[in-house]
Structure 1
Amino acid sequence: MTDAAGVPRHPVAVWASDALDSAAFARAYTVTAFGAVLSAFAIVRMAGVVTYATVLGGLCVVGAAVLVRRRHELNLVRLVPSTLVLLLAWLLATLVWSVDAGDTVSGWLGVAALAFIAVVIGHIRDTLQTARALGDVLRVLLSVSLGLEILSGILLDVPIRFLSIEGNIAAGGPVQGIFGTRNMLGFVAVIALITFAIEWRTSSIRRGAGVFSVALAGILALFSASPTVLVLALAVAGATGALMLVRRTPAAGRRALQFSIAGIVVVGAIAAYLLRHPIIAVLNAGSDFATRAQLWDTLLIYVRLRPVPGWGWVGPWPQQEFPFVSINFITDGPHASALNAYLDMLLQAGWVGLLLFTAMSAIALVRSWLVASARRSIVYAWTPLVLVTLLADSMFESFTLGGFGWLLLVVCAVRAGMSRSWRERMRAADAAGPDAPSPALPQGPPTPDR
């Protein structure tokens, strides 16, 4: 075999090149990446941090090979969102003033590796293919979680200590499955409900599989007894209703409706803050909120000492480094995060990091929302609904700053940027000339599998 220049090529090299460019390999890579990151807690507990880091490193190497092989399909303008590049650059820059350079380097490598994997997924899979791959992974891992909870809490009545499974399912929960905490299980279950619903509506799975999937996610969300699940469910329900209303509104009236919805969201957020204590009482989450309130009040003391640069990016809190050890001492709790992604980013990367993180998330949400409003296929609703879940959950947890939450956030940001990028529109306008009409959003279904 020879290449275009007539140079002989080894059959193995030909096979590897064809495999990297195949749809089957792209799906396998996506499923493996989602599966590994979602199983991070179980992998670390069973095989150690080094094993998990090796898995991520391998995914990055394979992902780089895929991008090189598919370089003819890539558009440099839309490869990575600008806000993501700026955020990662700033997090690395905090190495200069970080209290521990080693923790900053390892923490940065963790988010950078996951961001790179997410970029690869965003460019080799379209929205429907991404949702289908995630749905398959979630069905397996949620089934495993339910099975282990039944085994521990009903059949054996013995906790599975190395996975932190307490076996409380017979008592109605809380359960955590293989995800480590009940809040993480609740968060994953809500993402699963969105994904399964999109799969069902797009006829990507059969009716029986759809019923089973939705029931599985709903049962685990209920048994997780996570106080954040109800908040996330309300946020997703409100976003779904608003999106359906916008999609059914004639194009001429959409702009005014969009601004009205944005105003309602702002007013609702202010009202929720002012009425936070009655809301917490209704949710029966007083003890959890009291823990968070004490943690946040203490954290803000240290934010005022370094408001702009922060204390240096580390990711999960090191238990022996200042100011994290001091915060935990004052609050009398071994916290591994601020239990709030925005405050966590503010503490570690300062106001600059928080503004960049907020800008990346907000731009992705606006882009994906506008695309879902304009396109016919329901699959485009997956990205904004997932982003709403991520941003709402960030008020109570720091999941979006690492692991599955961060991976999903970057995937959504990449997909949103590819669907509606200001740089792409400027480039198209320059190529067409000043008198050309603005390019319209395509109205067809997602691109077919290749």
Structure 2
Amino acid sequence: MTASRNRRLVTALAGFVLFTAIAGQFWRNLLGYWGWGAVALAAVGVSVWMLAAHRPRIRFRRIPTSLLVFTGLVVLSVVWSSYRAGTALGILLYLAVFAAAAFVALCLRWGEIVAALAGALRWTISLSLLFELYVAIFVRAPLPPNFTDYGDDAPAAFFWSRDLLFAGGPIEGIVGSRNLLGFAALLLVVLTALQFASGLVRPTAGTGWLVASALVLALTRSATVFVAAAAVLAALGFAVWMRRISPQRRRPVYWTAAGLGAAVLAAVALAWPAILQAFGKSEDLTGRFDIWASVWSMIAEKPWFGWGWLGYWQPWVEPFDDLAVRNGVVYLQAHNAWLDVWMQLGILGLIAFAALAIGTLWRSWFLAVDRPHDPAGGPRPYQAIALLPLALTVALLAQSIAESRILIEGGLLLFLVVAVVTKQRQWRPEPLPAEAPEPRTARPGGWNAPTGPAAGSAG
């Protein structure tokens, strides 16, 4: 197998791993939990196999210290856990995602990571549109997951699709959740736009994916995702502004950002009732206030070390079998990653998680706005795709306020990949290609490198 074909295989396998993590609910709804377990085991096996085959040189100074501390607390929490069997399973799932993140971050070049993520998101969005179209034309009724029998009076949240495509949404797609589908669509909008601006995707294909992902984003009608989209747009806007001025003149931009942020928060506070009405939300944010109150009561009992790691709550573990129940649905997350971490790992875990989040955001920001240098010492032009780590980090952190997805599956995988890749970039500068003029001849291994043949064929 030639080197180029081998790299394309590695990228394709990474795309499969990313798709499995992002669309985990698709496999559960399609194949049941045993089928999903088989697919997940295959994804982990691929990751371990690739790590063993490539044997990346791992230097711990190139891994965020906060990530090592957080992972250590996750593993050690089994010692003081109030539900050790549940924590052992949660640790196993966390380490599985950790292995997948290590494969993607350490065995792929930056351009290959972009290509693999683009492929995973495109499969998620295209299959979701086809799935919702199938339900709307042939099923014409809410569709439950396979291997289930909820009866006629099941809550709407139990269904795989509620057959609302022709009604204008909200649609859930193959992932069975409008929040998850909307978030995937948001990431694809941002990724495609940055690829388009960097000359890494053909205009026709780029326009098509932009339209498809924007359509899905609109049809999900997810308030959480729209808030994340606003945060990403603001972050990218300020990053582009920063790129256009010298480092010595950046202080006014930071003051402007702070002032604008304060003004937005004040406006949101004043217009809160109107905002809730516009998004069809209740005053308690669809039951989130009650869930947060229940989680806070658990935090108050064990504030320092927490109850033990679970990740996604396991419904057979007390008290999570009835900790958050609304309209007959048992919710299995705190709907706030920060409260979730505090409850599971205590203040020590919360500090480690905050350090990991802040460090990743910090590195992503400066990688986005600081001009790279070539080996000869001269500055290189910026490329838009270098904004992607910042966009991913901001989107995940904005989502973490109302969802705990950053702690499990696709959210955790993307978060860990960005954390590791940005840290690697600090220690191993790579020559960056010029922006757009020669996208197919630039070095494929660079931080801003184009995705080569994979980028052209992906569209």
TM-score (norm: length of structure 2): 0.83
Going from structure 1 to structure 2, the CA distance change for 1:384 and 1:331 (only over 3 Å counts) comes to: same
Q: Distance in 1 between matches of 2:415 and 2:47?
A: 18
Going from structure 1 to structure 2, the CA distance change for 1:19 and 1:248 (only over 3 Å counts) comes to: closer
Answer yes or no: is the 8 Å Cα contact 1:20–1:66 preserved in 2: no
Q: Distance in 1 between matches of 2:11 and 2:263?
A: 40
Q: Distance in 1 between matches of 2:432 and 2:10?
A: 25
Q: Identify which of 24, 27, 34 aligns with 2:18.
A: 34
Q: Does structure 1 residue 277 correspond to structure 2 residue 261?
A: no
Q: Distance in 1 between matches of 2:267 and 2:44?
A: 41
Q: Identify which of 338, 341, 345 aligns with 2:341.
A: 345
Report the equivalent of 2:448: none
Report the equivalent of 1:103: 86
Q: Identify which of 386, 408, 416 aligns with 1:410.
A: 416
Q: Distance in 2 between matches of 1:93 and 1:250?
A: 46
Going from structure 1 to structure 2, the CA distance change for 1:419 and 1:265 (only over 3 Å counts) comes to: farther
Q: Secondary structure at the match of 1:286?
A: coil
Shift of 1:274: 4.8
Answer yes or no: is the 8 Å Cα contact 2:287–2:326 preserved in 1: no
Q: Distance in 1 between matches of 2:264 and 2:320?
A: 29
Answer yes or no: is the 8 Å Cα contact 1:21–1:70 preserved in 2: no
Give the counterpart letter for 2:194 in structure 1. I
Tell me whether 321-330 or 401-410 shows the greater mean CA deviation. Answer: 321-330
Q: Does structure 1 residue 356 correspond to structure 2 residue 362?
A: no
Shift of 1:277: 3.2
Report the equivalent of 2:43: 59
Q: Does structure 1 residue 123 correspond to structure 2 residue 129?
A: no
Q: Does structure 1 residue 380 correspond to structure 2 residue 413?
A: no
Answer yes or no: is the 8 Å Cα contact 1:126–1:447 preserved in 2: no
Q: Distance in 2 between matches of 1:26 and 1:339?
A: 35
Give the counterpart letter for 1:53 in structure 2. G
Give the counterpart letter for 2:82 in structure 1. V
Tell me whether 39-48 or 182-191 shows the greater mean CA deviation. Answer: 39-48
Going from structure 1 to structure 2, the CA distance change for 1:349 and 1:223 (only over 3 Å counts) comes to: same
Q: Does structure 1 residue 206 correspond to structure 2 residue 218?
A: no
Give the counterpart letter for 1:277 in structure 2. W
Q: Secondary structure at the match of 1:161?
A: coil
Answer yes or no: is the 8 Å Cα contact 2:20–2:43 preserved in 1: no
Answer yes or no: is the 8 Å Cα contact 2:70–2:353 preserved in 1: yes
Answer yes or no: is the 8 Å Cα contact 1:295–1:331 preserved in 2: no
Q: Distance in 2 between matches of 1:20 and 1:49?
A: 36
Q: Does structure 1 residue 151 correspond to structure 2 residue 146?
A: no
Going from structure 1 to structure 2, the CA distance change for 1:55 and 1:300 (only over 3 Å counts) comes to: same
Could you list the per-position Cα deviations for residues 189-220 of structure 1 after superposition, in whole angstroms to 9, with x for gaps in the alignment?
A: 11111111122122222111111111111111
Report the equivalent of 2:54: 70
Answer yes or no: is the 8 Å Cα contact 1:128–1:379 preserved in 2: no
Answer yes or no: is the 8 Å Cα contact 1:127–1:379 preserved in 2: no
Q: Distance in 1 between matches of 2:415 and 2:260?
A: 21
Report the equivalent of 2:396: 390
Give the counterpart letter for 1:196 in structure 2. T
Going from structure 1 to structure 2, the CA distance change for 1:269 and 1:107 (only over 3 Å counts) comes to: farther
Shift of 1:20: 12
Q: Which runs of 5+ in 1 are unaligned?
A: 1-14, 425-439
Shift of 1:442: 5.5
Answer yes or no: is the 8 Å Cα contact 1:95–1:312 preserved in 2: yes
Answer yes or no: is the 8 Å Cα contact 1:387–1:412 preserved in 2: yes
Identity across aligned pairs (percent)? Answer: 26
Going from structure 1 to structure 2, the CA distance change for 1:309 and 1:49 (only over 3 Å counts) comes to: same
Q: Does structure 1 residue 162 correspond to structure 2 residue 145?
A: yes
Give the counterpart letter for 2:163 in structure 1. G
Report the equivalent of 1:427: none
Give the counterpart letter for 1:114 in structure 2. V
5 Å-filtered alignment, 1:188-227, equals 188-227=184-223
Shift of 1:269: 7.8
Answer yes or no: is the 8 Å Cα contact 1:310–1:347 preserved in 2: yes
Give the counterpart letter for 2:120 in structure 1. V
Tell me whether 53-62 or 42-51 shows the greater mean CA deviation. Answer: 53-62
Answer yes or no: is the 8 Å Cα contact 1:364–1:416 preserved in 2: yes
Give the counterpart letter for 1:232 in structure 2. A
Going from structure 1 to structure 2, the CA distance change for 1:330 and 1:349 (only over 3 Å counts) comes to: farther
Going from structure 1 to structure 2, the CA distance change for 1:275 and 1:158 (only over 3 Å counts) comes to: same
Q: Does structure 1 residue 250 correspond to structure 2 residue 246?
A: yes
Report the equivalent of 1:263: 258
Going from structure 1 to structure 2, the CA distance change for 1:273 and 1:98 (only over 3 Å counts) comes to: farther
Answer yes or no: is the 8 Å Cα contact 1:149–1:165 preserved in 2: yes
Shift of 1:358: 1.5
Q: Distance in 1 between matches of 2:33 and 2:327?
A: 27
Report the equivalent of 1:309: 305
Tell me whether 176-185 or 318-327 shows the greater mean CA deviation. Answer: 318-327
Q: Distance in 2 between matches of 1:343 and 1:250?
A: 39
Going from structure 1 to structure 2, the CA distance change for 1:329 and 1:224 (only over 3 Å counts) comes to: closer
TM-score (norm: length of structure 1): 0.84
More helix, by proportion: 1
Report the equivalent of 1:428: none
Shift of 1:403: 0.9
Backbone CA RMSD of aligned residues: 2.8
Shift of 1:177: 0.3
Answer yes or no: is the 8 Å Cα contact 2:284–2:290 preserved in 1: no
Could you list the per-position Cα deviations for residues 329-364 of structure 1 after superposition, in whole angstroms to 9, with x for gaps in the alignment?
A: 699741110111111111111111111112111101
Shift of 1:26: 1.8
Tell me whether 345-354 or 20-29 shows the greater mean CA deviation. Answer: 20-29
Answer yes or no: is the 8 Å Cα contact 2:135–2:163 preserved in 1: yes
Q: Does structure 1 residue 370 correspond to structure 2 residue 370?
A: no
Tell me whether 190-199 or 311-320 shows the greater mean CA deviation. Answer: 311-320
Shift of 1:78: 5.2
Tell me whether 231-240 or 61-70 shows the greater mean CA deviation. Answer: 61-70
Q: Distance in 2 between matches of 1:222 and 1:274?
A: 25
Q: Identify which of 295, 299, 318 aligns with 1:299.
A: 295
Going from structure 1 to structure 2, the CA distance change for 1:358 and 1:194 (only over 3 Å counts) comes to: same
- Count of equivalent residues: 415
Shift of 1:268: 5.8
Report the equivalent of 1:185: 181
Q: Secondary structure at the match of 2:180?
A: helix
